[in-house]
């Protein structure tokens, strides 16, 4: 394996961090924000982001059981609320864009649980964590490393 750059311009990293913070704040639910970021990071196999967001989620009161079962949230029964399940389904649809893009039923389920501003912030959060995942995975940044 060849060495990869660990460089990330501070202006780019700062802008991404500001976008993340704005989306989290607008969503207004720090635990849900971390669930969304963990789920996208699982799908994208981003160990750096997954490690960071698990730590933040646990500090924000998330339980180890829910963190452990997040990868199987659809089978976890009532462990995740309907609102969380709608956000996680939207996270998966936006993260793994298929030929159908984001299916109407997935979008509509999320729209039933989030007002227009919250939904916009949720989609923004999903977009930015996917960007973070791509920045970290492409550079093979290891968990716990300095990101920039």
What are the residue boundaries of the structural domains of the chain, listed by start?
30-139
Average pLDDT for the chain: 95
Q: What are phi and psi of 98, to 5 degrees?
A: -110, -170
CA 28 – CA 72 distance, rounded (Å): 24
Name residue 98's beta-bridge partners.
101
Instruction: Identify the CA nearest to 49 among candidates 138, 139, 137, 148.
Output: 137
pLDDT value at position 100?
A: 80
CA 114 – CA 10 distance, rounded (Å): 33
Identify the helix (H) or strand (E) that includes residue 18.
helix 10-27
Could you name the CATH architecture of 30-139?
A: Up-down Bundle (1.20)
Residue 109 has pLDDT above 80, yes or no: yes
CA 126 – CA 12 distance, rounded (Å): 18
Tens-place pLDDT, residues 41-52: 999 999 999 999
CA 88 – CA 61 distance, rounded (Å): 18
Secondary structure of residue 60 in the 3-state scheme: coil
Tens-place pLDDT, residues 25-70: 999 999 999 999 999 999 999 999 999 999 999 999 999 999 999 9
């Amino acid at each position: 394996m060849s060495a990869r750059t660990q460089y990330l311009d501070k202006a780019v990293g700062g802008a991404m961090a500001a976008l993340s913070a704005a989306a989290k704040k607008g969503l207004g639910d720090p635990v849900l924000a971390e669930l969304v970021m963990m789920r996208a990071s699982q799908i994208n196999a981003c160990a750096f982001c997954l490690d960071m967001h698990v730590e933040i989620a646990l500090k924000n009161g998330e339980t180890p059981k829910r963190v452990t079962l997040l990868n199987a949230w659809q089978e976890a029964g009532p462990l995740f609320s309907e609102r969380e399940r709608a956000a996680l389904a939207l996270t998966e649809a936006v993260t793994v864009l298929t030929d159908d893009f984001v299916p109407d039923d997935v979008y509509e389920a999320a729209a039933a649980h989030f007002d227009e501003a919250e939904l916009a912030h949720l989609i923004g959060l999903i977009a930015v964590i996917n960007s973070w995942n791509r920045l970290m995975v492409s550079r093979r940044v290891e968990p716990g490393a300095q990101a920039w």
